A = this chain, B = another copy of it.
Amino acid sequence: MKVVLQSGPFDPGALLTAFTTGRRESGAVVSFTGLARAEGGSTDILELEAYEGFTETAILEMAEAAVKRFHLDDVLVLHRVGPIAPGEAIVFVAAAAAHRREAFEAADQLMDYLKSRAPFWKKSVGPGGARWIEPTARDKTDAERWDQPDPLT
């Protein structure tokens, strides 16, 4: 299990290859890659701020809970901090499990929690100025799906 905050660009494929290689008992690896959308040129540099030491711990707790709940073999979370240009990857989550349902649900839940509950502060900076972004209503309701012990099964 690994949680990494990184200030430079990363290649999601290289992470997936490293995460997948050598697994003998995991039948399923699900990955999620979140990209900064260009939105037809209207956006904008994203600036992501984390609280070093605190943010990793909070994400690690989310990852540990997912490993336990979904019987995962392994989890990787890599999250960018600092300025992020349109088209660049912001976040990568991978989950390995014996079977695919658990791997899908784990990656899905981790992303919902990351998007709404991870300790990041995110600013969008463009020609119209800068604004702080908050989780959307959908981010919040998506995350709430997982607050029951087993809402989907």
- Cβ A39 vs Cβ B25 within 8 A: yes
Q: How many copies are assembled?
A: 2
Contact surface of A with B, Cβ cutoff 8 Å: 11-18, 20, 22-40, 86-87, 89, 98, 100-101, 103-104, 107-108, 111, 115, 138, 142
In the assembled complex, which residues on chain B have CB atoms less than 8 Å from the CB atom of A138?
101
Q: List 28 A-B contacts (CB under 8 A).
A: A11-B17, A12-B13, A12-B16, A12-B29, A13-B16, A13-B17, A13-B20, A16-B16, A16-B33, A20-B33, A23-B35, A24-B37, A26-B35, A27-B35, A27-B36, A28-B33, A28-B34, A28-B35, A29-B33, A30-B33, A30-B107, A34-B100, A100-B111, A100-B115, A101-B138, A101-B142, A104-B107, A104-B108
